[in-house]
């Protein structure tokens, strides 16, 4: 089993690690992550600094130009490269150079659950700083009851030593039974009722038990694989679950589960990601009509272009009164000349008036439809619209290789500029 934990602490250096216990051959843990509040990178420019102060009798220094600092993304690349060169046994020393090095080096600080449990045994005060844990079970042999007992013993020790965990990720490493058993163990623990952030695959009764106990949950990412389709409508799922979510990433195809999860969240959800496969169901469309607080919607399309439900999907989206950010992903790379997707045809003439950002980078659309958005007498663009993200293929049109494409997309860019809308083209 892999374990990742995130600790938040005001402590400077991490506790020195003793030699690791060897873990059982069939169980492995991802390293623990230690998160410490960082000093601003600008407080430590990459310039040489004196080790001692100048004597008081020294001549005053001339005023110099402000020190040039590298961009943060460049610093990140440098740190990332340096971290890859550091061996596990030296990571705990290397991270003492600067706090900015600590987060990317976390993966080398704890290499399995035995190291984590040993550290918490030697320094039990660190346990209260563990706020987030990632668990992944990875077996070299078939999952058995003995494996389950081993997981429960190890996990219960971590749970008792880390009482303040608020965020949990349970990874699926290919064994269907294993992550669900982990979810069942957590459901019986003190963590369950304190969780505010959960990422889990819907694999069976263990996940259901955990969802029933997570009364304080605010952020949920739930998914499943094709192997689990027979479990998606398990009768053990109650009609409603006890939490009120703010952020939901729903990657299942069951409207029944969607309705149960959102039963107490329709008025609190501000961010939602889901697939078009759940939209044809009336109960899901009724849920949308009550999502008055929803501001961010990410829609993944897995249905056929000929699906007649796209009109109802467009109608549901247009009825969201406070939607500000909309992303449409229709499942494949967009090429110039692709016929306009029916969802774009149905939705663009009736965008929510509150919309500020529209991401069309992954949906086929003809530029004429966007031009109509700004220049057609019966279509009024949202007054608050400030940004449109266009497909990366548009960059090929703007380079002038095809005169017709250049004319169309240049007109789109001009229409956006005239209406105060920023048009972004993603690089492919």
The token pair at 174 is: 């290919």
Q: Which tops the pLDDT comparison, 344 or 22?
A: 344
| Cβ–Cβ under 8 Å, residues 11 and 127 | no
Q: What is the pLDDT of residues 371-398, one digit of tens each?
A: 888 876 656 788 999 999 988 777 766 6
- Cα distances (angstroms) measured from residue 139 to each of 34, 113, 150, 175: 26, 14, 12, 8
pTM of the model: 0.75
Antiparallel, parallel or unpaired: β 296-300 and 271-275: parallel
Residue by residue, what is the 3-state secondary structure of 294-353? CCEEEEECCCCCCCCCHHHHHHHHHCCCCCCEEEEECCCCCCCCCCCCHHHHHHHHHCCC
Of 184, 144, 191, nearest in space to 165 by CA: 191
Rounded to the nearest 10 degrees, the angle between the axes of helix 367-375 and helix 403-418 is 30
Q: Are 128 and 88 in contact (CB under 8 A)?
A: no
Q: Which of 373, 384, 377, 385 is nearest to 344 (CA)?
A: 373
Rounded CA-CA distance 224/278 in Å is 14
For residue 397, the model assigns a pLDDT of 67
pLDDT tens, 146-164?
Answer: 677 888 888 898 899 999 9
Query: If residue 4 lies in a helix (H) or strand (E), which one and from where to where?
Result: strand 2-8
Distances (CA, A) of 360 to 70, 207, 299, 311, 428: 33, 34, 11, 18, 14
Q: Please, are residues 324 and 351 in contact by the beta-carbon 8 Å criterion?
A: no
Q: What are phi and psi of 303, to 5 degrees?
A: -100, 165
Domain annotation for the chain: domains and CATH numbers? 280-428 (3.80.10.10)
Q: How far apart are CA 147 and CA 394, in angstroms?
A: 53
Fill in the DSSP letter of residue 226: G
**What pLDDT does residue 303 have?**
62
Alpha-carbon distance 267 to 288, whole Å? Answer: 10
User: Is the model's pLDDT at 264 over the cut of 90?
Assistant: yes
CA–chain centroid gap for 235, Å, is 29
Of the pLDDT bands very low, low, confident and very high (cuts 50, 70, 90), residue 358 is very high
Question: Of 88-97, 115-124, 377-386, 401-410, which gets the smallest average pLDDT?
Answer: 88-97
Q: Is the pLDDT of residue 338 over 60?
A: yes
**Local structure of residue 357 (DSSP, 8 states):** E
Can you give the C-alpha Rg of the chain in angstroms? Answer: 26
Average pLDDT over residues 165-180: 76
The tokens 């990412």 sit on which residue? 221
């Amino acid at each position: 089993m892999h374990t990742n934990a995130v600790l938040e602490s005001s402590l400077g250096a991490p506790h020195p690690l003793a030699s690791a216990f060897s873990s059982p051959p069939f169980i492995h843990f991802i390293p623990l992550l230690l998160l410490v509040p960082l000093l601003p990178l600008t407080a430590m420019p990459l310039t040489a600094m004196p080790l001692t102060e100048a004597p008081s009798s020294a001549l005053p220094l001339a005023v110099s130009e402000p020190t040039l600092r590298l961009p943060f993304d460049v610093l990140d690349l440098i740190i990332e490269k340096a971290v890859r060169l550091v061996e596990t046994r030296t990571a705990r020393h290397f991270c003492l150079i600067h706090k900015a090095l600590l987060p990317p080096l976390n993966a080398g600080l704890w290499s399995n659950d035995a190291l984590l449990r040993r550290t918490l045994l030697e320094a039990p005060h660190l346990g209260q700083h563990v706020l987030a844990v990632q668990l992944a079970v990875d077996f070299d042999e078939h999952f058995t009851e003995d494996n389950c007992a081993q997981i429960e013993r190890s996990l219960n020790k971590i749970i008792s030593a880390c009482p303040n965990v608020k965020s949990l990720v349970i990874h699926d490493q290919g064994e269907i039974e294993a992550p669900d058993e982990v979810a069942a163990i957590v459901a019986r623990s003190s963590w369950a009722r304190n969780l505010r952030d959960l990422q889990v695959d819907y694999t069976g009764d263990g996940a259901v038990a955990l969802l029933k106990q997570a009364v304080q949950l605010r952020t949920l990412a739930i998914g499943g694989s094709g192997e689990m389709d027979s479990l998606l409508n398990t009768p053990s799922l109650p009609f409603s679950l006890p939490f009120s979510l703010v952020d939901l990433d729903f990657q299942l195809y069951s409207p029944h589960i969607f309705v149960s999860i959102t039963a107490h969240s329709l008025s609190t959800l501000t961010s939602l990601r889901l697939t078009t496969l759940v939209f044809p169901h009336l109960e899901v469309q009724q849920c949308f009509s009550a999502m008055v607080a929803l501001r961010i919607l990410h829609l993944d399309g897995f249905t056929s272009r000929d699906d007649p439900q796209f009109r109802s999907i467009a109608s549901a989206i247009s009825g969201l009164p406070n939607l500000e950010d909309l992303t449409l992903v229709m499942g494949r790379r967009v090429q110039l000349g692709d016929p306009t997707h029916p969802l774009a045809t149905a939705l663009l003439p009736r965008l929510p008036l509150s919309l500020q950002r529209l991401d069309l980078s992954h949906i086929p659309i003809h530029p004429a439809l966007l031009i109509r958005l700004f220049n057609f007498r019966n279509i009024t663009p949202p007054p608050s619209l400030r940004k449109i993200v266009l497909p990366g293929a548009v960059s090929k049109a703007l380079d002038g290789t095809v005169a017709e494409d250049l004319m169309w997309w240049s007109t789109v860019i001009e229409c956006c500029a005239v209406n105060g809308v920023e048009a972004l083209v993603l690089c492919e």
